[in-house]
């Protein structure tokens, strides 16, 4: 089978996971582009399809198996095409085995450790012969640099600062599929940030499963210092980061955030449960009391900070009384937004072995109560923005006639903009008068477009 070069072959990379997976997909596309592939959004004209997967919940896995299964007909019609499955699911031996046995139209399976070897693995798959499986773990500390990337968005960018996770929360598969924590060298992160800013990115999100652990796997620059260094770079941009773990967050982090208006006034601080008993079973390493202290500290150091979080209900052994603790924490903190999940047993993670007696319907009832509470809080908090003028980075064309563009505030609130002048402000920071809202977003109109000075107004 010929290897066609110079854009006459097309590739599609589909992402099913978190922001880290998105960042990996940008690298997969970068490697494909270097090999001469043009990108496509359609399976039907792709010569290579890469499915970048997520293993965090059963639902995510089921969705991926549906997508892989549906490709078997296409593979019959286009037998030369390569179907590759990679990412977190591919790193799980039992999943790789299931693909080997039952999804024989998949040509290449490679795990998170093998990302940098993708070009070589693809060449092997293209050269015919047998199917290629690269799912072995690599030695702790391995970290590949210099992988090209092809970004999909002009104004917003992902910047991974660390990989892996050492926290082993009892419900979570991530430490098993992403390996031990490895921090990228601060000079490399700084150089990449400069490159992104020079190429037009003005909203950069630093990524890590626990960014507060940055530097702890070796080196002497820790996350607060990294934030200070990056925010000192010239140019007009805003820095975001996720995710922070409450056990490692504190005064130093909040002071670093307060040190520069270029650092977003937003912290995503997952609490997972409001019950100390469940937090201990989850192996989270903090109590409800400590979490509440952190929220108070963040609000004191960073007036107006937007606080978002993740929560799980239905952890094995959780009782109605435990759930009430979670409910009351949500009520007292008043998060701006909350990502809510029902516990999904992950084979390989300790919680999958625990006895679980609460019926699914009961968990669903807890979940529905919790989301109803949060939706009403989010709507109330959004209502309070009406009439205010906020500084917004306008970063997206929506295709919607009434709200042709959208943007984000420093606190990461989505703002949809009305008015024929709005598209002209794309790629700039602008003052936006908020005129309406719903639970999930704000709407507004340009007060006055301007190229931002990041040392300017409160965001
Ligand atoms: N590293 C981040 C942290 O510790 O906050 C979170 C990473 S995880 C990809 C995102 C969220 O998925 C978690 O915060 C948790 O709420 C949820 N999650 C992880 N494992 C889960 C499971 N087995 N069932 C349900 N939700 C889960
Ligand atoms: Fe998973 Fe916990 Fe690590 Fe987050 S900190 S990725 S929830 S093990
Ligand atoms: Fe992310 Fe899912 Fe992997 S949340 S790290 S893609 S398991």
Q: Is residue 139 part of a domain?
A: no
Ligand 3 atom with least separation from CA of 16: 6
Domain shared by 163 and 243, yes or no: yes
**Residue 418: CATH number of its domain:** 2.40.50.140
Residue 54 CB less than 6 A away from ligand 3: yes
Question: How many whole angstroms from 86 Cα to the centroid of ligand 3?
Answer: 12
Please state the three-class secondary structure of 86-129 as a single string: EECCCCCHHHHHHHHHHCCCCCEEECHHHHHHHHHHHHHHHCCC
- Structural domain that includes position 393: 389-450
User: Above 80 in pLDDT, residue 391?
Assistant: yes
Question: Which of 71, 102, 93, 66 has the alpha carbon at shortest distance from 84?
Answer: 71
Distance CA 72, CA 79 (A): 10
**Residue 19: CATH number of its domain:** 3.40.50.12160
Q: Is the pTM of this model over 0.85?
A: yes
Domain shared by 239 and 304, yes or no: yes
Helix, strand, coil percent content, the chain, rounded in steps of 5: 35, 20, 40
Q: Is residue 422 part of a domain?
A: yes
Q: Is residue 81 part of a domain?
A: yes
Question: Which of 198, 221, 201, 200 has the alpha carbon at shortest distance from 211?
Answer: 221
Question: Which of 55, 408, 445 has the alpha carbon at shortest distance from 203?
Answer: 408
What's the total number of domains in the chain? 3
Q: Using 50, 70 and 90 to split pLDDT, how confident is the model at 417? A: very high
pLDDT in tens, 346-378: 999 999 999 999 999 999 999 999 999 999 999
- In degrees, rounded to 5, the angle at the alpha carbon of residue 410 between the alpha carbons of residues 404 and 412 is 65
Ligand 3 atom with least separation from CA of 209: 5
Domain shared by 370 and 394, yes or no: no
pLDDT in tens, 182-231: 999 999 999 999 999 999 999 999 999 999 999 998 889 999 999 999 99
414: left (phi over 0), alpha (psi -120 to 50) or beta: beta
Q: Is residue 4 part of a domain?
A: no
Q: Is residue 147 part of a domain?
A: no
The structure tokens 């509470």 sit at 373
DSSP string, 234-275: SSS-EEEEE---GGG-SHHHHHHHHT-TTB-SEEE---B-S-
Question: Which of 354, 341, 349, 344 has the alpha carbon at shortest distance from 94?
Answer: 349
Q: Is residue 161 part of a domain?
A: yes
Q: Is residue 1 part of a domain?
A: no
Give the residue from 101, 134, 167 where a domain finishes: 134
Pairing of strands 82-87, 108-110: parallel
Residue 273 CB less than 6 A away from ligand 1: no
pLDDT of residue 140: 67
Question: How many whole angstroms from 172 Cα to the centroid of ligand 1?
Answer: 6
Q: Is residue 142 part of a domain?
A: no
User: Above 70 in pLDDT, residue 446?
Assistant: yes
Q: Considering every ligand atom shown, identify the ligand nearest to the alpha carbon of residue 338 and give its number.
A: 1
Ligand 1 atom with least separation from CA of 209: 1
């Amino acid at each position: 089978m010929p290897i066609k070069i110079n854009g006459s072959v097309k590739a599609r990379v589909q992402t099913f996971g978190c922001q880290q997976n998105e960042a990996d997909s940008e690298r997969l596309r970068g490697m494909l582009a270097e090999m001469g592939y043009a990108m496509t959004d359609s399976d039907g004209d792709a010569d290579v399809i890469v499915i970048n997967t997520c293993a965090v919940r059963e639902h995510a896995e089921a969705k991926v198996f549906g997508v892989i299964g549906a490709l078997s007909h296409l593979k019959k019609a286009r037998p030369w095409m390569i179907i590759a499955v990679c990412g977190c699911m591919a790193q799980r031996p039992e999943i790789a085995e299931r693909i080997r046995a039952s999804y024989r139209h998949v040509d290449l399976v490679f795990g998170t450790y093998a990302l940098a070897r993708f070009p070589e693995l693809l060449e092997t798959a293209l050269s015919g012969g047998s199917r290629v499986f690269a799912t072995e773990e690599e030695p702790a500390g391995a970290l590949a640099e210099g992988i090209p990337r092809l970004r999909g968005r002009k104004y917003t960018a992902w910047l991974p600062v660390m990989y892996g996770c050492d926290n082993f929360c009892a419900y979570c598969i991530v430490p098993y599929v992403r390996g031990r924590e490895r921090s990228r060298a601060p000079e490399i992160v700084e150089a990449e940030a400069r490159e992104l800013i020079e190429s037009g990115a003005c909203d950069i999100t630093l990524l890590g499963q626990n960014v507060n652990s940055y530097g702890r796997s070796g080196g002497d620059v820790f996350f607060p210092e990294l934030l200070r260094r990056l925010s000192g770079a010239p140019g007009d941009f805003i820095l975001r980061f996720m995710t922070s773990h409450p056990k490692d967050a504190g005064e130093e982090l909040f002071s670093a955030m307060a040190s520069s208006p270029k650092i977003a006034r937003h912290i995503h601080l997952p609490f997972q449960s409001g019950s100390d008993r469940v937090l201990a079973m989850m192996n989270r390493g903090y109590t409800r009391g400590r979490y509440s202290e952190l929220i108070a500290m963040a609000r004191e150091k960073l007036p107006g900070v937007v606080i978002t979080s993740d929560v799980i209900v239905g952890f094995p052994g959780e009782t109605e009384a435990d759930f009430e603790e979670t409910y009351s924490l949500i009520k007292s903190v008043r998060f701006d937004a909350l990502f809510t999940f029902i516990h999904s047993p992950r084979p390989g993670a300790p919680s999958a072995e625990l006895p679980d007696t609460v019926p699914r319907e009961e968990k669903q009832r807890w979940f529905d109560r919790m989301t109803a509470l949060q939706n009403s809080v989010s709507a109330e908090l959004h209502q309070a923005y009406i009439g205010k003028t906020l500084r917004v980075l306008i970063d997206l064309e929506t295709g919607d006639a009434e709200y042709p563009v959208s943007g984000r505030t420093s606190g990461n609130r989505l703002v949809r903009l009305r008015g024929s002048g709005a598209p002209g402000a794309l790629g700039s920071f602008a003052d936006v008068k908020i005129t309406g809202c719903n639970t999930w977003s704000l709407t507004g109109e340009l007060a006055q477009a301007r190229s931002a000075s990041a040392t300017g107004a409160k965001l």
